[in-house]
Amino acid sequence: MLGNLLGIYIFTQQFNYHNFMANISFRLNKGKKITDIDKSYSIYIRVTSGRGKDYNGSLGIKVKADDWNAKKERIKNRASLTQRDKHNKTLDNLSSYFCDFSFELKNTSTHEYIIRVKGILDAYFNKTISKNMSFFQFIDYFIDNAKTQPNSNTNKIVSKSTITSYRTTLKALKRYDNYEKKISFNSINMSFYYSFLSWCEGQGWTPNTFGGHIKIVRMLMREANELNLTTNEEYKNRKFVKTSTETDEIFLTIDELQLMFEFDLSNDEIKEKVRDLFCLGAYTGLRSSDYCSLTSFNILYLDGKTNLKVKMKKTGKTVIIPLNSNAKKIVEKYEKIGFPKIIGNTINLHIDKIGEMVGLTEIQQYTSINGGAEKVHQKRKCDRIKSHTARRSFCSNAFLGGVNTYDIMAISGHTTEKSFLKYIKLDTQQRATKIGAHPHFN
């Protein structure tokens, strides 16, 4: 009899304990329908504890839908996801962490429940964010977090150049605020958009510069919305868009690159290394951040041919690029002694002078939009060569040479053919020659 009573008591205590347990679950996109498995969505925590007590909040962790196991509520076990274990550990720890507050949450009023759950989450992550945070305080907070928060697309910590772009936008917004004195979460609307546009034009900035700032403002507002710092969604207006204009940049033709490649620079070690790296970029399509950090481990031999296998710093994607004869000579030149470690700024300091030495001095006329007005400029071609000209030259020459557009895009990183065709630079005559080579015109 005593044993039966004891058993009933233990069962009752277990039943009551589980009744008081908070129910913790994790969902992608707040449980809403996923329409693109290649798109990154925020992981939301849901904490329920009885009728009417239901909290949903973003954890600030993003993952591609295809990398999320909805049944296990964890990130899939894939070797390519370098932050997987760290994030899954966070989800495990949160589940255990909330158990300690189950009784407290059970006894919290419905009105106070969400406030208490948010407080528990903030304590876990040791966050300094508050509902009273201003727009500019939030940007500072966001930038500090960005230094350690992996990029949702590459699963890598965002690059220094990306952090720099955030700081550049912050600086521009503060300068504008000194002029207007009205930026807040609630002021980000179409009135702000047109006022900021007018101010940027007054600074003599291009539509691309303004568009870059607007792109970051939209991103900041999305993040602020997810953190419940604001309910303002005016930035979603279809007119609140990133502006851009086609840049009038140049590329070097195959013949011009050959002149540069063959030019004797043996009496100037720095210029010789700059020229070699620039030409290698023009023959492979690599960004300066990638061709300036090559090692012998990037060399890959396949079927008797030399290739470069590179994990791109910007996108995190690994590409294998076949080398033409000139690129192969450059690789062989540095394979044993080590590739030059020269940053893009140093290349920019010398590459225009190298272009002048080679003879690329013809005067070119081009237009630009500054401060909302179109301006006409005249410059020597050599003075318009930059480190990025190498990559643009690869794309343009490969396109003219008949390489499949999507094969070029696989290396360049362009996601749409439309954006790629804007990127390559062909004049009217070159485009006509390209079209005339099609069998339709034979």
Please determine, for residue 417, whether its predicted confidence score (pLDDT) is greater than 60: yes
Contact 425, 392 (CB under 8 A): yes
**What mean pLDDT do residues 224-238 have?**
90
Higher pLDDT, 13 or 288: 288
pLDDT in tens, 28-49: 988 888 888 888 888 999 988 8
Q: Are strands 299-302 and 74-75 parallel, antiparallel or unpaired?
A: unpaired
Please determine, for residue 349, whether its predicted confidence score (pLDDT) is greater than 70: yes
Residue found under tokens 């070159």: 430
Q: How far apart are CA 269 and CA 355, in angstroms?
A: 16
Q: How far apart are CA 243 and CA 284, in angstroms?
A: 30
* pLDDT for residue 383: 92
Residue 195 makes CB contacts below 8 A (sequence gap 6+) with: 180
**What mean pLDDT do residues 264-277 have?**
95
Please determine, for residue 264, whether its predicted confidence score (pLDDT) is greater than 80: yes
**b/e burial code for range 35-73 (CB count within 10 A of at least 16 → b):** eeeeebbbbbbbbbbbeebebebbbebbbbbebbeeeeb
Structure confidence at residue 126 as a pLDDT band (50, 70, 90): low
Residue 31: left if φ>0, alpha if ψ -120 to 50, beta else—which one?
Answer: left
**What mean pLDDT do residues 306-311 have?**
92
Nearest to 325 by CA among 261, 380, 376: 261
Residue found under tokens 């996923």: 34
Residue 164 makes CB contacts below 8 A (sequence gap 6+) with: none
* pLDDT for residue 40: 86
Structure confidence at residue 393 as a pLDDT band (50, 70, 90): very high
Residue 62 makes CB contacts below 8 A (sequence gap 6+) with: 40, 41, 42, 43, 152
* pLDDT for residue 30: 84
Q: Residue 365 burial by CB count (10 A; 0-12/13-18/19+): exposed, middle or buried?
A: exposed
* pLDDT for residue 7: 47
Higher pLDDT, 401 or 105: 401
Q: Looking at mean pLDDT, say which of 36-40, 101-105, 325-329 comes out highest.
A: 325-329
Q: Looking at mean pLDDT, say which of 103-112, 219-228, 353-362, 428-437 comes out highest.
A: 353-362
Please determine, for residue 23, whether its predicted confidence score (pLDDT) is greater than 80: yes
The pTM of this model reads 0.58
β-sheet bridge partners, residue 25: 46
Percent of residues, the chain, with pLDDT higher than 90: 38
Contact 208, 369 (CB under 8 A): no
Torsion of CA 296, 301, 304, 306, to 10 degrees: -60
Give, in order, the Cα–Cα distances in Å from 218 to each of 11, 134, 145, 189.
54, 16, 17, 11
**What mean pLDDT do residues 291-310 have?**
91
pLDDT in tens, 201-229: 888 888 889 999 999 999 999 989 888 88
Coil vs helix vs strand at 363: strand
Higher pLDDT, 244 or 351: 351
Q: Looking at mean pLDDT, say which of 74-88, 263-277, 278-292, 363-377 comes out highest.
A: 263-277
Percent of residues, the chain, with pLDDT higher than 70: 84
pLDDT in tens, 159-173: 777 888 999 999 999
Higher pLDDT, 303 or 6: 303
* pLDDT for residue 268: 95
Torsion of CA 250, 253, 256, 258, to 10 degrees: 140
Q: Which segment of 118-127, 255-264, 285-294, 314-323 scores lowest on mean pLDDT?
A: 118-127
Q: Which segment of 109-118, 152-161, 400-409 scores lowest on mean pLDDT?
A: 152-161
Q: What does pLDDT average to over the chain?
A: 83
Higher pLDDT, 157 or 67: 67
**What mean pLDDT do residues 272-286 have?**
95
Please determine, for residue 57, whether its predicted confidence score (pLDDT) is greater than 70: yes
**What mean pLDDT do residues 418-422 have?**
79
Sheet with 40-48: list strands edge to edge: 23-28, 40-48, 54-64
Contact 358, 260 (CB under 8 A): yes
Residue 371 makes CB contacts below 8 A (sequence gap 6+) with: 201, 202, 203, 204, 205
